[in-house]
Amino acid sequence: MTQTAERPETEQESSSKSRLVVVGNGMSGARALEEILARGGADTFAIEVFGDEPYGNYNRILLSEVLANAAGRAVDDEDADGEDELYLNPLDWYDENGITLHAGVRIVRIDRHAKVVYGDDGSVTPYDTLVLATGSRSFFPPMEGMWATKTELTPGVFGFRSLDDATSMLAHIREHRTAVVIGGGLLGLEAAAGLQAHGVAVHVVHPTEVLMNQQLEAEASKVLRSKLEDMGMHLHLGVKTNEILTEDGRVSGVRFTDGSDLACDMVVVTAGIRPNIGLAMVSGLETQRAIVVDDKLRSVDDDSIFVVGECAQHRGEVYGVVGPLWEQAAVLADVVTGANPDAEYHGSRLATKLKVAGVDVAQMGVKVPERSSDEFVQFSETGRGVYQTVVIRDGTLIGATLVGDVSKVAALTQAFDSRSALPEERIKLLFDLGSAGDAASAADLPADTQICHCNGVSKGDLVACVHDGAESVSACMAATRAGKGCGSCKGLVKEVVEAALGGAGVEDPADSYYVPGIPLDKPTLMAEIRSRGLKSVSSVFAELAPDGKDHVGSKMGLTALLRMMWPDDHVDERDGRFINDRVHANIQRDGTFSVVPRMSGGVTSPDQLRRIADVADKHEIPMVKLTGGQRIDLLGVPKEKLQEVWADLDMPSGWAYGKSFRTVKTCVGTDFCRFGLGDSTRLGIDLEERYKGVEGPAKMKLAVSGCPRNCAESMVKDVGLVAIEGDRWQIYVGGAAGATIRKGDILATVDSHDEALRITGRFLQYYRENANWLERTYDFVPRMGLDHLIGVVVDDVEGIADELDARMQETVDRYADPWATDQTDATPGQFHDALPLVPLPQVPIRTSSSRDGVSS
Amino acid sequence: MSSTEEAVEARLGPVDRIPLGEGRAFLVGDEPVAVFRPRSGGLHALRAICPHRGGPLADGLVGRDTADGEVVMCPLHNHQFSLVDGSCATGADDVAAYTATEEDGELVVRLG
């Protein structure tokens, strides 16, 4: 950078780097810096930081932990152990990142024309870009006795804002035993709890009846209040402090506005915070409650000056909690570094979760209904100290308050942030009505109750498994085989085992793995496979499995995943396939196989039927059966005969054996049916011809019905389409009528045959890429959430619709009929029978005493 | 052909009759034998019929179980049998284990 002549020179390295100066080294300044560095800011900028506290920056939200910790009490936040954790970045961090830190230097003025800042140590520092993160300070209401001098508080009076405040309070309470906390907001209650942990008698004085009135409405506050009183905290609500009484220049008590006194030897003032805007004011920046910024977090007066954190006022809001600050820092860094010059901050929706004196409190959005049409759900159980409310507007969650029991906060926060659809019974937002009841009943079931009906596992078997030392649901399932059949009992198995483990069982990390043998969830696993270019099952095991173990139960899932991810060039290791996929037929109980040719949309012809009849005769097929998917099944075919049967049929594979696209069941539709509204057979045939054999995490069964009479049962299919009046198709997803029964949800209503094909394909591709191994759509759809799926698949909110379509197209393009390609053996003995139903390859034998016999 | 009391040995042809990682079934005398060739190396032989419901073990997937043992998983109901000694850790009866070795590139199975 060239400098103009009147601009004061500094001794900085002369480099071509732009100068970035950050004023303020608290949480927001540090966060902004981290975000800037994360975007390569160290290469672009020479960075200098001014902080008027003589420390590296520290985590202010842990101050109350500092206070409580010193009492030797266990605190909830395991991150809070020791002062090391308190510091966000130690001093070395600045060195390592090439940042010059001026700790203890206060910036007193900005010369915006010369683009320099003046420090109280006489320094003059030029900038190209300036970031103001001056934060805020405690507000001390004007009060007799507060101040000893103009700048010093009366001994025994404290703010609660900085590390110095916390440590001097800790020093003070060694000798003093009664504290008055002025202000019963969040910070005040945290200070009060911290002091009480040291055995100090604590009185909280609050000017209204509502504690934490920023976050809580009156009823919620009442519950909190009785909890705090139970813990021995003295609350003085609806009164104001008029004066701090002193004796020999030290605190001796407080006097309320009604004239009464309360003796104490310590006062903590937590009556709110005020943004530090003095520097901005003297430097001519627009300030109201704080420094006014635009959506790019720039001062409205000066494009070179950015503002972040508690000193910023954006669209009339000043935020005093940490969430918004993080969001602001990210936007600021995007703009400052040019990583995304168009980034904008549009304000934050506030959600707070904290523990006040051992009481869990969570709050988000509005506290109470604001319009007559707002829904308000309220639950109160004062005996247990639980109070919960939700506020719903136009079907979305706009506010929630939880006191005493915050177990649902994660789900509520998600609903609040994503504005997702809510259960029709609103109370389900607060309680798991179903599973809560089941959990109770699972514990009450008699021991001989059969839990897994496929493998005959009783509750007693599962409980015994726990007593024998199994520590997780998956361990019990592996040992007893419960839930390993159709899988529909898994939920109940989980509850029984968790109850036996003693309530909220250990979170089993294996639950999130795509396959048990690789400790990664599906997105992570896919990312690893892609970045390492792993194209065979054996290479995935070698690189990603613990000790490279090729876990037997994981091979099939990995094979399916690789075939989906690399339709062109996965390495085909046949031993990674289940027997069905090795021989393209479904194994039966006697080791024979079933052969189901494709019969798209369930439509056949006399010629086809004749050929099937001929094949059945010629090969003496023991049973010919109509399937539930409107096809014909030839059962009891020995493995050795499969290729011959396929050749004689001269029909393509129907994929009735794979974790793949199976069938499209259709009704008669418009050609003949007098009620038909849409050509369901045509659409069914086209769907099946297009997506035939597409492999996935589990089987996919579809149906198309030509009118809402729904003769093809579209509502209980993985994807089901229904023609409705006006040449439109409803697309249902996530339906099931097998081990589980579930009515599908409407993903979309489309107005053409082609769009129906496209949306179906896009949904299936998203399912292929995101569902866990063996996770059917009836679990996948509720897990992802219908709104999310509509957003991605129909509205393309993530902008990936084209990619999904392209990847599905690639799979479709690569399709090859396995019955045709495996007419010659792919591996030696691929079609040799494995059971002696027909003579196995007879080999010459001899006794071990003579070795001169025949060899094969 | 063979008395069950006697140890029986059969030469079953080249080892690569069995694709790497898979199993194949043979009739050795009257005994159906599944021979496996795991990717980790070695050869193993078990009686070919699952003691649970008669499933064809040679059609099973081969790999490690959670306890790191080399196993075959029956394709019918997923019972797992140790390739080394035929023991079952998933609740079915054990299956007979035989000896399989490679001799001069040839697969040799010994019963009894």
Q: Are residues A678 and A793 in the same domain?
A: yes
- What is the CATH classification number for the domain harbouring A644? 3.90.480.10
Q: Which residue of B has its CA nearest to A474?
A: B66
Q: Which residues of B touch A773 (CB under 8 A)?
A: none
Question: Within an 8 Å CB–CB cutoff, is residue A825 touching chain B?
Answer: no
The contacts of residue A11 (CB under 8 Å, 6+ apart) are none
Q: Which residue, A639, A586, A579, is CA-closest to B59?
A: A579
* Mean pLDDT value across residues A723-728: 89
* Mean pLDDT value across residues B77-85: 94
Model pLDDT for residues A217-239, shown as the tens digit of each residue: 888 888 888 888 888 899 999 99
Q: Tell if the CB–CB gap between B61 and A578 is shorter than 8 Å.
A: yes
| Number of residues that make up chain A | 856
- Minimum distance, in Å, between the CA of residue B50 and any CA atom of chain A: 10
Instruction: Using the 3D structure, point to which of A222, A243, A271 is the last residue of a domain.
Output: A271
Candidates 3.40.50.11690, 3.30.413.10, 3.40.50.720, 2.102.10.10; CATH matching B9-111: 2.102.10.10
Cβ atoms B108, B12 nearer than 8 A: yes
Model pLDDT for residues B53-76, shown as the tens digit of each residue: 999 999 999 999 878 889 999 999
Q: Which amino acid is at A318?
A: V
Q: Are residues A308 and A263 in the same domain?
A: no
Cβ atoms A82, A4 nearer than 8 A: no
Strands A593-595, A632-637: pairing is antiparallel
Question: Within an 8 Å CB–CB cutoff, is residue B93 touching chain A?
Answer: no
Q: Tell if the CB–CB gap between B61 and A591 is shorter than 8 Å.
A: no
Question: Within an 8 Å CB–CB cutoff, is residue B10 touching chain A?
Answer: yes
Q: Which residue, B65, B56, B31, B58, is CA-closest to B44?
A: B58
Q: Tell if the CB–CB gap between A842 and B27 is shorter than 8 Å.
A: yes
Listed by start position, the domains of chain B span 9-111
Q: Are residues A681 and A644 in the same domain?
A: no
The yes-or-no verdict on residue A2 having pLDDT over 50 is no
Task: Give the domain range for residue A488.
Answer: 435-512
Q: Which of the two residues, A452 and A781, has the higher pLDDT score? A: A781
Q: Are residues A573 and A585 in the same domain?
A: no
Q: Is A348 a domain residue?
A: no
**Backbone φ, ψ for residue A806 (5° rounding):** -65, -40
Number of domains in chain A: 7
Q: Which residues of B touch A587 (CB under 8 A)?
A: 56, 59, 75-76
Query: What is the distance between the alpha carbons of residues A752 and A327, in angstroms, rounded to a whole number?
Result: 42
Q: Is A820 a domain residue?
A: no
Report residue A82's pLDDT band, with 50, 70 and 90 as the boundaries: very low
Query: What is the distance between the alpha carbons of residues B73 and A695, in angstroms, rounded to a whole number?
Result: 22
Q: Which residues of B touch A846 (CB under 8 A)?
A: 8-10
Cβ atoms A233, A143 nearer than 8 A: no
Q: Which residues of B touch A482 (CB under 8 A)?
A: none
Q: Are residues A221 and A370 in the same domain?
A: no
Question: Within an 8 Å CB–CB cutoff, is residue A527 touching chain B?
Answer: no
Q: What is the ipTM of this complex?
A: 0.94
Question: Within an 8 Å CB–CB cutoff, is residue B66 touching chain A?
Answer: yes
Question: Within an 8 Å CB–CB cutoff, is residue B58 touching chain A?
Answer: yes
Considering only the beta carbons, identify the residue of B9, B20, B26 that sits closest to A846: B9
Q: What is the DSSP letter of A408?
A: T
Q: Tell if the CB–CB gap between B27 and A554 is shorter than 8 Å.
A: no
- What is the CATH classification number for the domain harbouring A89? 3.50.50.60
Considering only the beta carbons, identify the residue of A478, A547, A574 that sits closest to B22: A574
Considering only the beta carbons, identify the residue of B23, B49, B63 that sits closest to A551: B63
pLDDT at A473: 84
Q: Are residues A199 and A125 in the same domain?
A: no
Q: Tell if the CB–CB gap between A484 and B78 is shorter than 8 Å.
A: yes
Q: Is A475 a domain residue?
A: yes
Report residue A646's pLDDT band, with 50, 70 and 90 as the boundaries: very high
Query: What is the distance between the alpha carbons of residues A318 and A145, in angstroms, rounded to a whole number?
Result: 30
Q: Which residue of B has its CA nearest to A547?
A: B68
Question: Poorest-confidence range of A45-49, A152-156, A356-360, A661-665?
Answer: A356-360
CB pairs under 8 A between A and B: 154
Query: What is the distance between the alpha carbons of residues A235 and A403, in angstroms, rounded to a whole number?
Result: 18
Report residue A433's pLDDT band, with 50, 70 and 90 as the boundaries: very low
Q: Which of the two residues, A850 and B82, has the higher pLDDT score? A: B82
Model pLDDT for residues A303-332, shown as the tens digit of each residue: 999 999 999 999 988 887 777 888 899 999
Q: Are residues A756 and A608 in the same domain?
A: no
Q: Are residues A105 and A205 in the same domain?
A: no
Q: Are residues A585 and A570 in the same domain?
A: no
Q: Residue A712 pairs with which residues in a beta bridge?
A: none
Q: Tell if the CB–CB gap between B25 and A834 is shorter than 8 Å.
A: yes
Q: Which residues of B touch A841 (CB under 8 A)?
A: 26-27
Residues 436-455 of A with CB under 8 A from B: 455
Model pLDDT for residues A789-819, shown as the tens digit of each residue: 999 999 999 999 999 999 999 999 999 999 9
Considering only the beta carbons, identify the residue of A551, A828, A834 that sits closest to B48: A834
Q: Is A856 a domain residue?
A: no
What 3-state DSSP class applies to A806?
helix
pLDDT at A252: 94
Q: Which residue of B has its CA nearest to A576?
A: B61
The yes-or-no verdict on residue B42 having pLDDT over 70 is yes
Question: Within an 8 Å CB–CB cutoff, is residue B4 touching chain A?
Answer: no
pLDDT at A483: 82
Average pLDDT, chain A: 86
Question: Within an 8 Å CB–CB cutoff, is residue B45 touching chain A?
Answer: no
Considering only the beta carbons, identify the residue of A835, A841, A844 that sits closest to B49: A835
* Mean pLDDT value across residues A72-87: 42
* Mean pLDDT value across residues A552-573: 94
- The edge-to-edge listing of strands for the beta sheet with A99-103 is A99-103, A45-51, A18-23, A129-132, A302-307, A298-299, A291-293, A312-314
Strands A719-724, A661-666: pairing is unpaired
Angle between helices A537-544 and A522-532 (to 10 degrees): 100
